Every structure is written in structure tokens, then in C-alpha cells.
Amino acid sequence: MAGVGLVVGGWIAKAVIANILSRVRSLFHDNLSLQKDTEKMLNDLEVALPRIEAVIEAAERRSIESSALSTWLQQLKDAVSHAGDVVDDFEAKTIKDQVESKSKVSAKAYSTVKALKALVFSDSELKKLKHAVRRLENVSARVDSFIELIRLNDDDTVGRIGHSLHSETSSLLGDTKVIGRDEEINLILDIILGYRYHLPRTSEHARPDDQPKFGQRGTLFDKLRKIFLTGTAESSKSSDKAKLEELEARKKGNKIEEEDPSKDCIEIGEYEPNQKGQTERLDYNSSDVHETSGSSQNLGILPIVGINGVGKTTVAQAVFNNKRVKMCFDLTAWVYVSDNISGKQIIQRIIMSLEPWSGLTDDALDLDNLQHKLIGIIRSKRLFLVLDGVSDDIIIVWSQLRSILRCSGPQSMVLVTTQKYSIANLLGTMGPITLNTLEQTDFRYLFNHLVFDDCFYHHYEVHLFESICGKIADKFHGLPLAAKTVAPLLRANRNMEYWENVLGSDWWNISDHGLGINVLPALGIGCLYPALRQCLLFCSIFPRNYVFEKERVVQMWVAHGFIQSSDRRDIVPENVAKNWFDELVDRSFLQPTVWQGRYVMHDLIREFSVAVSSNEYYVFHRNSKVLPQFANHISVDNDNFDLQWGHYDHKRLQTLMFFGHHRVDKNYGTLGSIVRKSTSLRVLDLSYICMSNVSQASDVLCKLSHLRYLDLSFTGIKDLPEAFGNLYHLQVLDLRGCIIEKLPKNMNNLINLRHLYADSQTTALIYAVGQLTKLQELQEFRVRLEDGYKINELRDMKDLRKLYITNLEKVSSWQEATDAKLVEKKSLDYLQLKWVYQVPESRSTSQLNKDILDGLHPHFQLKRLKILNYMGIDFPYWVQRLTDLVAVNIINCRWLSVLPPLGELPRLKKLSLFGLSSITHINDQVYGTNDVIFPYLEELHFSELFSWEQWSEAEYKLLIPHLRKLGINACSKLSLLPIETLSSSVKELHLSSCTSYISMLPAYLKRLTSLTKLSIQDCSATLLIPCHSLTLLEHLQLESCFDVHFEGGMQYFTKLKKLEVHRCFDVTQNIYEQTSLVERYSLMGGLQSLIHLVIDDRFMYYRYYHMLNTLCSIRTMKFCAFDLSEFTTEDEEWLQQLQSLQEIQFASCRNLLRLPSNLNNMCNLKKVVLNDCCKLQSLPLNGLPDNLKEFHVSGGSEVLEQQCQKTDGDEWQKISHVPYVRINGRTIQMISHDLGNWYSERCRIADTIRRTMTVY
């Protein structure tokens, strides 16, 4: 029987019941007769809450096998759910009365109506509420009968293995054989033994706005090794940083002094709070500090991160006991950092590990003497320290402890093991090593090693045990903790029946003659507080390996009430939920993907969560037979709606989600029946379900009075019925991808709506949208002259975070603009203001625009501002006072001739100026008066500034020191660039129509030694590219450039991955004669990193490909705008040597008559695409490669398309072996068994992207 802890599943009973009691009291407040009868029940419930919480917490901590307790807990959950539904109904009726009252009475009379709201409830409704409270009270009253059971069970848990899973660790390696961790151990040894090389602290490709911000994680070991082996210490500071320091020195009137390394040691007399909230004095003699040879540069801290049980301690032990480590370090120490540890205890344990003979006790020395003693031991000696099992408690003492450790000798190292990335980011001086679960082969080897000893191999049926052992091992998802927990039991019970039982059981619930194994704390899930644990369990409702969106999950948590609401307006439930989500990511329970804001649940954690919740969160898939009785949250990973519901009670269903490809033509009756019966639904996701009878579907939805979250995106729904406005509890409505023609006029009744996702046309239809005061995003507020659409509708929408206002020309005055009260919207993060462009009739029109913009003054905490089609000459003063701005976009403000001093904005990271036709100069007026101009700007884009002539130098100032991306497009009059003072840290440079300043470009490119992407278009003068300075270039795009010259030769582009050259009339290069023999030899390999190549007919006709030398890594090649009729023999010979090519495309090759004749010899070619090749009438005579997987033809020759048809096409025999053939948008052939995992995985990824990458 499953333990009671699995039945509870992280349920936050106390908080949920307390919330219901508070809501009931509020409803009964104005009804004196019911108040007297119900008060005793409510009081009894409140008295019982602590005991209920104690029983539930005890049940979650250990597996108690009691059917009575399990039954009672389930009854309690049902009673709570029923009471919540009843209270929901009453609150909905109250909201309805409020909404109707607002429309009928004046604001002054509204308070009177509100006071009489209780009178509208009928006697039957009030009795229903009273009955729900009584049912809850009756179930809760039985809690006392289980208190004794919990107390007795406490005595039986002393010897449980679960308690020993988190025991103190030591440096001794229990098993000298460490399996499956060679890569990680060798990498760590490479780092700590040659510490002059540094791992990057953060990933270069990490997204700066993707929270939470941690160090590099999940990095591939071969890439880390390459970074380590090729890395070099920074020899000097960058020129920009030096310039900044020089400016600071000049400002202070003194010389720049070298930093004293000893200043990193702690100051005398500083205090740190210990775990009891008291302070500990961490001081010692100042001479000890200044005589030390250590510094912050000499102490390296390398974190190892992974979920509990993945083997962090084992890896650390293997490193610690390595002979090379013992030889290279003067001192080695191992400290287990337990929870609630104090600074004094850590120092004492370090000393005990370094000098075990010292025999220190807790009271042997005070803190001051311990610090003196430790410094005396480690001074001038190279130290290797392992801090194992570090948790959040280290934060309190870390600053002081680090300062002490910095007093050690040069190249000292600290190895930290922790479950949390936030701890790794806080402590580490370099990116962490992430330990994932073991690969299947390694794990099987480890499991067999632990199960089968020498004696076992003498067993006459050992081959049978080996067979089942592999199947058992596969259940554990590569977690070493599982192997070390279960393997001893299997070895001790050499009984086939017992092994079969283990195979059919959840491994964390296996027992051996009453010896229970409690793995919940060992995995770290038990450390989560109940509300957070419940949020984690909810994520198991998504199918295995499903990539889900953070925002979406957070909103579902809020919809279910997992995050309790607060009376404080500054506490937003979504923000609390996001912090909780980040906590789960921090602990590796949820894992980030390559897509920003998208995550996946680890297989092991998901499987465990499903079991812990006793199938309360259930995924119904093809192999499912019947729904579990107690499933409250269901997702359907199946194309079929005809589910086996059996005797399932639909009224308990709270979440229903669908995945896969559904079309509800014939299955609408089934879906409608499911939804109609599920009256307690809180979350309903019908996205991507194509509905033909949309009116019927929307009518059913209107009856789901408890609904909080409704996703109808891409369903084809065109209108919503009037009754839709009765969903008073609705918080999230997603209508993306739906062309809504009509909205109910009472849409503004949804006063609890927090998130509305729809196109701008749909949101503009909402009448009196100002009543939706909890809305956080408004995709478009389109100002109109009629009531219900004027700008004063925005007055009370104080929770808005994103706001788009259009048709501002319909605002008549400054006073009307101030009625929107944007300045009072403290939560506003993004603001877009848009006029419909028109030529100003007079100067007064420009002044009116400025007055209106002045009246739309936002709160000073605004982060992002976008202004479009503004017709004023300059901006009001408030624009330059928004010191929290991180992004500014100014678009098509054609009369704007004066820009504010944007260079003074201290936090600005992105600036885009587009279509500012009246701007002629960017100079000191924009720079401002600070010494550092745009101090944190990372992206800067200019486009279509047709009158712009000069971008001035910033003399004696530092100009944009952190610039990473620079774009200048269609600024044809620009002739002066600040190449001397403009930052040299640019990584991406995009230029178009650059003829006027092209002569200045080479000098600037020579400074851009960190450039990784260069794009130049529409240049009619000679373009000189200094190749020797751009050795880090990864992407080069040249388009419509008259004369391109590669100075030094393209062989310098050793890291180039993507090259696009088209419509370039003359391309040349020269090789430096003064290049040394060593350098020439290193460059002989050519463009070895090139993966993607896009070229046109000129590139082929003039044989420019000879400049590329050997292309050993090419994967994709695209011929575009190809006017040649055929490939020459020389061209085909060049193509033949591209044996790594996997995909070839021919796009807009309208004169091409024949494809290369030797395509069939390209053995690695997997995909051929022909697009808009209208004269191509046949395929190569020799056919296509035997290994080809895909063949696509579209928008081209009708003759070829006909010839490639499966039935009567003459060319069909040449492509009949290709598994996937697609002609003009139609799939002609798809042989799934030939495509195998390759195609299935592509489809799975495509489906994931389609569902998760939709832009709000």
C-alpha cells in the first residue's frame, strides 16, 4: 500500500482552509442570523487547523501505511474542494451585484448597495453554504484520532534509511571505482591543477533578460575543455576600461593606484549574524591581513551543481583523493557544510581537517583565536578545500569566510558542491560544472557493480537475475542515489519474486521487511515548503519531455490558488510565483531549454512527482486504460477524445489540457460532454483544437463559473456570446490566433481578468475596458471619441504592466491626456504611444502633440518606452528624467529635430532611432554632460535618418563602453563617425547604404577585435575588410556591395560559421607576404568552421569559391538569385569535394536548366530543396543520393512538378527511394520507418516550437 505521504502530495491544507474561512466570514458578515449559527463552526475549524497541519506534515515526511488516515485525508481534500466551489458561487453572485450596481447607481450610492449585498442571497443558497462549512468542520473534527498514530509512528522511524541519506560526508571514497564520471573528473582536475586558466563565469550566449540569472550551466564538456585548454589569462585591461579609469583618476585629481590585494581580507571588528540571529565577531590582528601573500586573484572557487543524489560528493571525493592533487597542493581539507552551520563551526572544521591531531572542541577556542589559528595554518600555502553539501545557510557567513581563505597562498582552490545554481553563482569565481544523471550504459554498469558481488556470480541462475537487473536499472533514470539505495536490498534478497516486485514498484517506496526507504528528503523535494512542492507536482501534468512556458505555468499556479493572495497591492501573485519557479529551476527540478522562458521537467523528478501526488496530476496517453479515481488535474496527450472515463466523477476535475493535433468535427459531442460535466474546472486549455461549431463550444464554456484560466488560442473561434461576461472569476483569457469579429458588450464584467492575450483588433473592441482594473497587459487601447473608448478609461487600471495606446491624435488637450493618470501606474513596465501619422497643419499642431505627450507622463519606474509617429519638434522634459529606462524606441517621428540627452540615462541598454527625418547631428546635445556616455548601452540602432550628417566624437569622454550591437541602416548622408572614441567592444555590426562613410570603416573594423557578426549591404564604393583583425568573426553577410576586398585573405576567418555573399560585383583578396611561416601554416586549413554558405551566380561565375580553400565542415549550401543556366565541370568538381554537405537549396534560380550532375555522389546529402526554379524540367540523369531523406519542390516549373508525381511522373523513379517528398505544399510520400527517429524527433520539436514559441 502506498504511504500516506504520497496521498497528501504537497497539499497546503492549512492555507487553503484558512483562505476559505476568511472568505466565508466576509460573506456572512452582514447576515446576523447566520453569523450566530455559523460562528462556532468557523471557530472550531480555526482551532483544528494547527493539528491538521501537523498530521499532514508528518504524513509527508514519512511513509505511514494507514488506510484510515489516507481515507480521512482524501475526504478532507474533497470537503475543502466542495467548500471552495460553494464560496466561489457566492462570490460570483456578489461580483454580479457589484457590476450591475455600478451600471445603475451613482458612485455615491454604491457603498449603500454594497452594504446590502447579503440580502440578495436566497435561503436555499445560504443553507448550501452553511452545509459546506458543516461538512468541512465535521471532517476536520476527526483529526484528533490520528494524532496518536503520528506520535507512535515517530518511534518507528529512528532506524529508517531515509534519515541516513543526508548524513555527514567525509573525504574517504567508499568505492574506489567511480563509474561514468571520467569526463567531469578530468575536467575538474584540469581546472584546479592549472588554475591560471579560467572557465567563463557566465555563458557568452546567455540571454540577459532570462531570469533567474546564474552562472554558466549545463555546458558540454568538450566545449568547456576547449575553453580551458585554449584560454589565456588576461594580459592587460581593455583600452575602454583603461580610458574609464583614467577619467575617474582625472576627476578625483590623483593618480591611478594599483589595487592592494590584501584589501580583499576582512576588516577588523566586522560582525556577522549566526544562525540564531546573534552576531559573531570576526576580527584579528591587522598585521595578519597585510602580510598575507594571497589575493582575490589567487583563490579560485569552482562549484559542482546537480540534483541531490546525482553524485556530486562522489566526484568531489575522487578529485580530493587524486594523487596529483595531493602533490600539487600544500594543504588539503574536506568540510561537510551542514544546515544551520555557523561561521565558527566552519572554521573549526577546516582546522580539524587540516590538523586532525589538534583535538579542538566547541569551547576550546573563541572565534578570534580560531581565526588567528586558521590564518597561521594557511598563510603562503597553496590550499585545496572542499565544501560539500553547501546550502543557503552559507550566505550568512560566506563574505567573512572568503576573506579569510584569500589569505592562503597563490593558486589556492575551493571546490563547492551544491544543489542550487544561485549558491554556485554567489560563491563561484567561474562557471559551475553541472552533473546530470548518468547515461544508460554507465548506469547499468554501476548498478550491476553494486548488485553482483563475487558470491552472487556463483549463483546458478545468475543470468536470469542479470536480465531483470537491467530492467530495474532503467527505472532509475540514471540517478546514482537510486542505485546505492536499491542495490543492497537486491543483493541481500536473492529471490526472483522479490526482484519482480521491485521491478513493478516505485523504487522510492521499496521496503525490506519493514525497513522503509524515505527518498523524499534525499532528493531535496522534502526541503521544499508545501506550497512550493505543490507547484512542482503540478508541473507533472505536462507530458514527458514537453517544453512548457514559464509565464503559462505561473498563471496556472495563481489560477489554482497555490499562491495565496495578499491585501498589499505591491505584492503581485505572479511575481511571487515567478520567484517560486526560479527556485525550482535553481534546484534543478525544472531545467531551462535553448528557448528563452521555456523549460522542461527532469524525467526522474516528473516520475517521482506523479507518484507522490497519487495520480492527482495525470497525463492520459495512448496506452492509458482508465482514469484514476482521484485525478483532479488531467492532460490528454492523445489525438482521440474518446477517453475511457469509466466511473470517474467529472465534478472533481479542476484542470483539463489537450496536447497533440485535434480537430473537433465528429468528436465535438464527446468534448462538449466532458466540459459540460466538469463544473469545477479552474484551468481549461483547448489551444490548437480546431472547432467547426464554435458557437456551441463557446456556449458550453459560459457555464463554467469557477473558471480562472481559459486558453482558446488558434481554435477558430470568431465571437463570444453575451453569457461569456458571466465568468466573473476568469483571470487569464488567451485568444491569440483567433479572428474575433464580435465581443459581448458586458466583456467588462470580467473584473478579475489579469491577463488578456489577443490581437490589437480584438482588445480594441472591448467597451469600457477601464472596468478591468486588474488587467496587467493591454495589447492596444485605441482612443475613440465616443464614451467607453476615451483615454480616461485608463484612469483606474493601476495594475497595468504593458500598455499600448494608439490614435492619440484623437486626444484633444493636455488635461484630457492627464486623465489617463499614467503617472500613478507604478507597475507599468512597458509603454507604447502611437499617433496616426499626418503632416502637421501648423506649428500649433506640433505644440499640441507635445502637450499631449507631456500629459501622458508615466511613472518614473518605467523600463521600456516606444513612441511612434509623434509630430512634435522636441520631447517634454520627463523623457530624460526616466532614469530606470532600459529600452527606448523612437519611430517615424519625422518632425523631431531635437533629441534629449539620452546619453545620461544610467540604465539604458537598448536604443533604436528609426525614421527621424529631421535629425542632422548626434553630438554633445544627445551625449549630455557625464564623463561616460551611455554607460550601459548594449544595443544601438539607427535607421532611415535621411538628414543625418554627422555623428560627433566624444572628446575626453568614454562613448558607449559596453556596446555589443551596432546598426546603421539607410542613413545615406552620414559622413562622419566617432571611430576614435566609439567603443571597440562591439560584437555585431550591421551597415547598409554606407557609401558616404565607407572610407572610415576599415580603421574602425581594425579596432573591433571581438567582432563575431558583420553584415554590410548596399555599398557602391570599395569595401576593404581587414581580415587579420577579425579572427573571431562567425557570421559574415555581404549583399549588393560593388567592390569587396579581403585584406590579408579570408584564411584568417578560422571561426567563421556562416557566409552569405550575393550581388557583389567584384570580390578580391590579397595574402600578406610578411606573414610568418608559422602563421601561414596555421592558416592553411582555410575556413574549417564554415557550416552554412549562401552564394549567387556571380560567386560561381567568377570562381570566388577558390578563396574559401578547404570546406571540411560545410553542412548547408544555398544558391540564390542564380541567373546561370548550368554548372560547369569546374563548378561540379568544387562541389564534389564538399563531402560533409547535408543540405543543398536552389532558390530563385530562374534560368537554371540543369542541376549539378554529380549530386548522386554526395553520400552525406540528406535534403534537397528547389524553390522558384521555373525553367528546371528534370533531375540529374544519375539521380540523387541513396541516403537522401527529404526532397522539396515549390513555386517552380510546372513541368518538373508534374514529372515528379508519384503516379505518372517520368522523374519519379529518381526520387522514389526518398522517405519524405513534398511537391508544392503537398506531401507526396512519407515513409515513417525509413525516416526513423530522425524524422520523428523533427516533428516532435516542430510541434513543441509551434505550441510554445507563439509571441504574445
SS3 of residue 273 by DSSP:
strand
Q: Is residue 794's pLDDT more than 90?
A: yes
Per-residue pLDDT, 521: 53
Q: Is residue 373's pLDDT more than 60?
A: yes
In the structure grid, which three cell numbers stand for residue 1245, read together? Answer: 520539436
pLDDT digits (tens, 9 = 90+) for 603-628: 888 888 887 777 788 888 777 777 78
Mean pLDDT over 189-206 rounds to 58
pLDDT digits (tens, 9 = 90+) for 518-535: 555 556 776 777 788 889
Q: Is residue 247's pLDDT more than 80?
A: no
Report CA torsion sign: 847, 853, 855, 859: negative
- 752 or 165: which leads in pLDDT: 752
In the structure grid, which three cell numbers stand for residue 855, read together? Answer: 500629459
Per-residue pLDDT, 162: 40
Between the alpha carbon of residue 948 and those of residues 870, 943, 975, 1162, the distances in Å are 18, 10, 9, 51
In the structure grid, which three cell numbers stand for residue 400, read together? Answer: 567573512
Mean pLDDT over 4-29 rounds to 62
In whole angstroms, what is the distance from residue 432 CA to residue 112 CA?
62
Q: Is residue 229's pLDDT more than 60?
A: no
- Of 204-208, 380-384, 532-536, the poorest mean pLDDT is in 204-208
* Confidence class for position 510, pLDDT limits 50, 70, 90: low
Helices (H), 141-238: 144-155, 161-164, 182-193, 221-230
Give the CA count within 13 Å in the CB-facing half-sphere of 1246.
7
Q: From its phi and psi, is residue 1195 left (phi > 0), alpha (psi between -120 and 50) or beta?
A: left
Per-residue pLDDT, 112: 38
Q: Is residue 1138's pLDDT more than 70?
A: yes
Per-residue pLDDT, 142: 76
pLDDT digits (tens, 9 = 90+) for 67-88: 777 777 778 778 877 778 888 8
Element (H, E) at 412: strand 412-418
Q: Is residue 101's pLDDT more than 60?
A: yes
The amino acid at residue 548 is F
Q: Is residue 1065's pLDDT more than 70?
A: yes
* Confidence class for position 696, pLDDT limits 50, 70, 90: low
Find, among 1005, 953, 967, the residue nearest to 984 by Cα: 1005
Give the CA count within 13 Å in the CB-facing half-sphere of 365.
18
- pTM of the predicted protein model: 0.79
Mean pLDDT over 296-304 rounds to 81
In whole angstroms, what is the distance from residue 491 CA to residue 495 CA?
9
Q: Is residue 275's pLDDT more than 60?
A: no
Element (H, E) at 52: helix 32-61
Report CA torsion sign: 1206, 1208, 1209, 1212: positive
Longest CA pairwise span in the chain (Å) = 102
- Of 349-363, 947-961, 984-998, 1190-1204, the poorest mean pLDDT is in 349-363
Per-residue pLDDT, 1123: 83
Mean pLDDT over 227-254 rounds to 40
Torsion of CA 12, 17, 19, 24, to 10 degrees: 170
Find, among 828, 794, 755, the residue nearest to 574 by Cα: 755
Q: Is residue 1253's pLDDT more than 50?
A: no
Per-residue pLDDT, 677: 86
Q: Is residue 924's pLDDT more than 50?
A: yes
Q: Is residue 146's pLDDT more than 80?
A: no
CB 718 within 8 A of CB 739: yes
In the structure grid, which three cell numbers stand for residue 318, read together? Answer: 575522487
The amino acid at residue 914 is F
- Of 116-120, 580-584, 980-984, 997-1001, the poorest mean pLDDT is in 116-120
SS3 of residue 683 by DSSP:
strand
> Residue 616 gets which letter from DSSP?
S
Q: Is residue 238's pLDDT more than 70?
A: no
Per-residue pLDDT, 660: 66
CB 215 within 8 A of CB 198: no
pLDDT digits (tens, 9 = 90+) for 1013-1054: 999 999 999 999 999 999 999 999 999 998 999 998 888 898
Per-residue pLDDT, 249: 42
Q: Is residue 211's pLDDT more than 50?
A: no
CB 395 within 8 A of CB 168: no
Per-residue pLDDT, 251: 37
Q: What's the chain's average pLDDT?
A: 79
Mean pLDDT over 565-588 rounds to 85
